[in-house]
Structure 1
Amino acid sequence: MPIRRNFTTCANGICPLLGILFLGGCAGRQSALAPGGEDAAQPYLIFLVMLGGAVVLWLGLNGLFLHFARVNRGHFARRLANRIIIGAGVLLPTVVVGALLAWGLSIMPSQRAPGDGLVIRTTAEEWWWWVEYWPPGAHAPIVSANEIRFPADGRTELARTYMHSLWVPSLGAKMDMITGRRNVMTLQPDLEGFYRGQCAEFCGASHALMAFETVVMAPDTFATWLEEQAAPASAPQGAVESRGQAIFRDEGCGACHAIRGTAFAGSVGPDLTHLASRMSLAAGIMEVEREDLMNWIAHTGDIKPEVAMPAYDWLQAAELSALAAYLKSPE
């Protein structure tokens, strides 16, 4: 009776609810089950085929169990039993798994195909992402951080260095980043939109706070955006922003951060040129708003444990506001 009661309770309420909760993970901008490009669609197709095969196998095995346990419970010849075991237990799985392996390997080489010219180089830090765009023929990169943008309908080479694992589930498979080695894959996003990427392997205290935004743009829009990103930052427009620039200089922020078009040329922390044009702050965990900038500058270690950037908690509110205004001004 307890077993039957528990099964009835599960069937009537708990299991359907759990099923709905699990289905919630099948969509969204960080789901491998919602492909936004060719390189994510291929693994998704493999998943569907293997899932269908697993369902057929499950139904077939349980059908055999039901047949021999309930329908045909009589004795049958040993030779027939051996044929069933060898055929259904050895030969059939070997043929099916071998065919799936050959088919899966045959549709994956596109991720090794050469790109159309644009190269995006990502370097993982603790805990943020250094991003460099190398257009064809460029002698220097266009530097950004914590955000990757792709042109749609084109194959882009994505080079990865340093330890960590970069993954945008809706756009393609993940690839580990190995110190001293330059791992390369190409991605072809097809659907314009916003996606979320994540470090896919545990890397320390702030591993869960090491996300990044990914944007797939129309080719013309991407070209315009890239041209704007290559331009130097605009000069401060008012007294508050000028005061913020002076605080940035006096507090030594330029020793770690670069802002193109100024004397600040640090290479330890993220490049802050055109910070206001980015979709997030602190590797995907905050918005690029003045209040968030003030909070991040004053309480860095509280927001992201063990981050290398010191917290400037001695700055007064007016100083933090001016510094945030300066950082948010050059779009």
Structure 2
Amino acid sequence: MGPVLTCRTGPVAVRTLAVLTGVLLLSACNEGRQSVLNPSGRDAQLLFDLAKIMFVGALLLWLLVGALFVYVTRVNPYEMSRRLAEGLIVGGGVLFPVVLLGGLLVYSLPLMQAPRDADSGMRVHITAEQWWWRVDYELPDGSRVTSANELRLPVGRRTGLVLNAHKVIHAFWVPALGGKADMIPGRETYLSLLPEAVGTYRGQCAEFCGASHALMAFETVAMQPDAFNAWLTAEAQDAALPQGEQATRGAQVFAREGCGSCHTVRGTPAVGRVGPDLTHVGSRKSLGAGILGVEAPDFANWIAHTETLKPEVAMPSYDHLSRDDLQALAAYLGGLR
């Protein structure tokens, strides 16, 4: 029998591998439209800058503690004088933390003001449901334009968000644009966002709220002000009339199945408020609160398998519809732009 070769990994190698793995994982978090490490809004940038300063402070503190440890265990591993020991306790255990934490507190508290300040810009009322988002844009005359599962904001302007929730606590969070805010039933909370780059960013409920919590996302679209104004004007209009024989049949299926008792389609007899407003659902970025696209197969999949795609959702699965009726209904909804 030949010699047996063994491979031993020392503690240093294990620690080095762990650090390198952590760095690789952290670098992967820097990309994507739901990353706090890729800020695209004024408020997210302030939080990112604060995080960097706190990281540097924590690193300096770690290095200092490590240096003291090496000094007392390796460089001078002898009994200290009482005066020196008391100096280390008072200086390192009291004075240094007070100065460091006090400095961070003085720097960070003013950063919290801007996202909470009242502003003269537009207000958007957002209500967290189970498990979707009701979004109402407040117009200058006090009227509202209702949408769902999508938030659109003008770039370079601060928009105030009035947050509420139905039944249980949720939390509103668009990592690339700003911080989190709790949404509490019966209590309005306030947050404002100032996007600085055109793009589409993913938002998420950040508070566990039930079976489909992980399936409660939304798209936030930051647009140039002129494009946003044009979109809001179009969004305020009634639903488009069905185009083509299939979409017309889909509108009939929609009415026959009683969909209008839960959903609103402005300009039609459908005035339900239980579920999302569908007036312009075909022009949105996603379906089912961020879990599907908005192509005809996505609508058909959602309608037929709602309870499977989103556990404990209030909407039942319409799996009893014939293939032709299902496709017609999907064509009608996809045409609501």
Instruction: Give the TM-score normalised by the residue count of structure 2.
Output: 0.93
Alignment of 1:37-52 (within 5 A): 37-52=41-56
Matched residue, 1:10? 14
| Aligned counterpart for 2:109 among listed residues 102, 105, 126 | 105
Unmatched runs of 5 consecutive residues or more in structure 2: 1-5
Match in the other structure for 1:243: 249
Q: Which residue of 2 aligns with 1:134?
A: 138
**One of 151, 154, 160 as aligned partner of 2:154:** 151
Q: What are the Cα deviations for residues 265-285 of structure 1, in whole angstroms up to 9, with x where unaligned?
A: 111110001111100000000
Match of 2:263 in 1: 257
| Range that drifts further, 179-188 or 193-202 | 179-188
CA drift of 1:114 comes to: 2.0
The verdict on how the C-alpha distance between 1:141 and 1:199 changes in structure 2, with shifts beyond 3 A counting, is same
Aligned to 2:3: none
Aligned residues: 329
8 Å contact kept, 1:121–1:158: yes
1:20 aligns with 2:29: no
2:210 is the alignment partner of 1:204: yes
The aligned counterpart of 1:305 is: 311
Q: Secondary structure at the match of 2:192?
A: strand
Alignment of 1:249-328 (within 5 A): 249-328=255-334
Flag structure 1 segments of 5+ consecutive residues without an equivalent: none
Q: Contact conserved, 1:130 with 1:144, CA < 8 A, in 2?
A: yes
Deviations 1:104-159 (A, max 9, x none): 11222111222233111100111100000112x23321110000011011110100
Report what 1:174 is aligned to: 180
Q: Distance in 1 between matches of 2:194 and 2:114?
A: 9
The equivalent residue for 2:98 is: 94
| Alpha-carbon distance change, 18 to 117 in structure 1, aligned in 2, over 3 angstroms | closer
User: Which amino acid letter does the alignment assign opposite residue 330 of structure 1?
Assistant: L
Distance 2:222 2:146 in 1: 18
AA aligned to 1:191 is: A
Please report the TM-score for the alignment, with normalisation by the length of structure 1. Answer: 0.95
Letter in 2 for 1:236: P
Name the CA shift for 1:15/1:185 in 2 (closer, same or farther; >3 Å): closer
1:188 aligns with 2:188: no
User: What is the CA distance between 1:245 and its match in structure 2?
Assistant: 0.3
Letter in 1 for 2:66: N
Secondary structure at 2:291's aligned position in 1?
coil
**C-alpha contact (below 8 Å) 2:278/2:336 kept by paired residues:** no
How far off its partner does 1:194 sit? 1.1
Cα deviations by residue, 1:40-81 (Å, 9 ceiling, x for unpaired) = 111111111110001001111111111222222344421012
Does structure 1 residue 223 correspond to structure 2 residue 226?
A: no
**Aligned letter for 2:291?**
I
Shift, 1:13, TM fit:
4.7
- Residue 265 of structure 2 aligns with an amino acid whose one-letter code is I
Work out which of the residue numbers 76, 80, 83 in structure 1 matches 2:84: 80
Deviation at 1:8, TM superposition (A): 5.1
**Counterpart in 2 of 1:29?**
33
Give the conservation status (yes or no) of the 8 Å contact 1:116–1:154: no
2:126 to 106, 122, 126: 122
Quote the Cα distance in structure 2 between the aligned partners of 1:37 and 1:112. 15
Where does residue 55 of structure 1 map in the other structure?
A: 59
Whole-angstrom distance in 1 between the partners of 2:105 and 2:153: 31
Matched residue SS, 1:173:
coil
Q: Indicate the SS of the match to 2:35.
A: coil
Identity of aligned residues (%): 48
Q: Aligned partners of 1:330, 1:76: CA distance in 2, in Å?
A: 79
Q: Distance in 1 between the 2:151 and 2:245 partners?
A: 33
Q: Report the equivalent of 1:70.
A: 74
